C-alpha cells in the first residue's frame, strides 16, 4: 500500500484559496441535496476538558475521508489535526496529510462563503473579534469576497490585536469589542470564548454576523441575537447536541442551510436592514473539499513523500 504523505508546509502551498471557496460552495449544495455521507462526529473526552474528535465522511462517489482533531488547551498549539484519504474501491489509504492548517483555513473560508451570500453588497467595514489563528485566517480570506476599506480588530489581549492589524494595510487595532462592532457592516467572531463576546445592542441594522467559535456549553455568540436575526447554518445537524451540533443553538431550530441559498431554494438577505447570522459547527464536507484539492494538486505536481506500508 503506497501512501502519499503531505506535511503542513506542502498543504499550505498546494491549497488555492479561490478554488477552496468554490469547492465549499459545491460541498454546501451537496449537503442540502443529501449527497454527503457523514456519520455524526464522535468525541473521546480527556482530563482538563481536552478531547479528540473523529470525523469520517464521503462526498458523492469520492474517496473516504477521516479527520481526527485534538484540542488540548494546556498545550501550544492547542488544536491539531490529521486527515486520511482512503480508496473507495479497495479501502487502501491513499494519502495522509496535515489537517491543522486545513481545519483553520476551511473554517474561515466557509465563513467567507456565508458572508458573500449574506452580507450587503456594499459592505465596507469589517470587525474581527479575536486575534488568534482564526482571526488571522479571517483577515486573509474575507478580502476575497468583499472590498473592505476599514477592518477593525479587537482581542482580549491588545498586543495580539496590534500584531494582527499590522498584517493588513487597511486593518487597525481598537480598544474593545464594542468599538469594533458599532457601525460595522460585517462582524466576524473568531474566538474560543466560553461566554458571548458581543452585545446585540451594538449591532446596526443590516449587519451580518459570523461566528466560528466552539466552546460548549455556551460559546461566543449571544443567544439573544438569534431572536432578532435570520440564522444560517451549514446543515440542520447544527441543532443536535454537542459534539455534533452547536451549543449556542440548543433549543432553536429556525434556520436556513447555506446550500438552500446556493441552490436557489431559499432566500439569503431579504432587505438592507435585516440582521443575518451564520453559525458554524464545522462539517467534514469542508475538510473533504480542501483535502481533495490538496491531493489532486500534489499528484499533479509530484509533491510529497510516498511511503510503502
Q: pLDDT tens for residues 24-77?
A: 999 999 999 999 999 989 999 999 989 999 999 999 999 999 999 999 988 989
253 pLDDT more than 80: no
**Under 8 Å between Cβ of 126 and 152:** yes
Exposure on the CB side of residue 248, measured as CA atoms within 13 A: 26
Per-residue pLDDT band for 252 (boundaries 50, 70, 90) equals low
pLDDT at position 148: 98
133 pLDDT more than 70: yes
Q: What angle do CA 249, 177, 246 make, to 5 degrees?
A: 15
**pTM for the predicted model, two decimal places:** 0.95
H helices of the chain, where?
A: 8-14, 17-33, 100-118, 133-141, 158-165, 177-181, 258-262, 284-301
Average pLDDT of the segment spanning 269-291: 97
Radius of gyration of the chain (CA): 19
pLDDT at position 251: 67
Closest residue by Cα to residue 67 from 306, 285, 295: 285
Fold of the domain built from segment(s) 111-282: Rossmann fold (3.40.50)
Mean pLDDT (the chain) is 96
User: Fold match between 2-103+285-308 and 111-282?
Assistant: no
Going from N- to C-terminal start, the domains of the chain cover 2-103+285-308, 111-282
Sheet with 150-154, side-by-side order of all strands? 171-173, 150-154, 125-129, 186-189, 208-211, 276-279, 230-233, 256-257
Q: What are the tens digits of pLDDT across the range 88-132?
A: 999 999 999 999 999 999 999 999 999 999 999 999 999 999 999
Q: For the domain covering 2-103+285-308, report its CATH number.
A: 3.30.1780.10
Per-residue pLDDT band for 86 (boundaries 50, 70, 90) equals very high
pLDDT at position 158: 96
Average pLDDT of the segment spanning 186-191: 98
Amino acid at each position: 500500500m503506497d501512501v502519499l504523505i503531505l506535511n503542513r508546509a506542502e498543504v499550505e502551498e498546494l491549497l488555492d484559496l479561490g478554488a477552496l471557496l468554490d469547492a465549499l460552495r459545491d460541498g454546501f449544495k451537496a449537503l442540502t441535496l443529501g449527497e454527503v455521507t457523514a456519520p455524526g462526529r464522535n468525541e473521546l473526552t480527556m482530563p482538563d476538558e481536552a478531547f479528540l474528535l473523529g470525523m469520517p465522511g464521503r462526498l458523492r462517489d469520492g474517496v473516504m475521508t477521516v479527520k481526527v482533531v485534538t484540542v488540548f488547551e494546556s498545550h501550544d498549539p492547542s488544536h491539531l489535526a490529521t486527515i486520511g484519504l482512503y480508496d473507495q474501491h479497495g479501502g487502501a489509504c491513499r494519502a495522509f496529510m496535515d489537517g491543522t492548517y486545513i481545519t483553520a483555513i476551511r473554517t474561515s473560508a466557509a465563513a467567507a462563503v456565508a458572508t458573500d451570500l449574506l452580507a450587503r453588497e456594499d459592505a465596507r467595514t469589517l470587525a474581527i473579534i479575536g486575534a488568534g489563528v482564526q482571526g488571522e485566517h479571517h483577515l486573509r480570506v474575507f478580502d476575497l469576497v468583499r472590498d473592505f476599506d476599514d477592518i477593525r480588530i479587537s482581542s482580549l489581549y491588545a498586543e495580539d490585536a496590534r500584531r494582527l492589524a499590522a498584517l493588513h494595510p487597511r486593518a487597525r487595532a481598537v480598544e474593545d469589542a464594542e468599538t469594533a462592532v458599532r457601525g460595522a457592516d460585517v462582524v466576524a467572531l473568531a474566538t474560543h470564548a466560553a461566554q458571548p463576546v458581543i452585545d446585540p445592542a451594538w449591532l446596526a441594522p443590516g449587519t451580518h454576523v459570523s461566528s466560528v467559535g466552539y466552546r460548549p456549553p455556551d460559546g461566543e455568540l449571544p443567544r439573544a441575537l438569534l431572536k432578532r436575526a435570520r440564522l444560517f447554518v451549514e446543515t440542520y445537524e447544527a441543532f443536535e447536541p454537542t459534539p455534533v451540533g452547536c451549543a449556542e443553538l440548543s433549543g432553536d431550530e429556525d434556520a436556513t442551510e447555506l446550500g438552500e441559498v446556493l441552490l436557489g431554494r431559499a432566500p439569503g438577505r431579504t432587505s438592507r436592514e435585516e440582521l443575518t447570522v451564520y453559525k458554524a459547527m464545522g462539517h467534514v464536507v469542508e475538510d473533504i473539499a480542501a483535502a481533495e484539492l490538496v491531493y489532486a494538486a500534489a499528484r499533479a505536481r509530484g509533491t510529497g513523500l510516498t511511503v510503502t506500508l
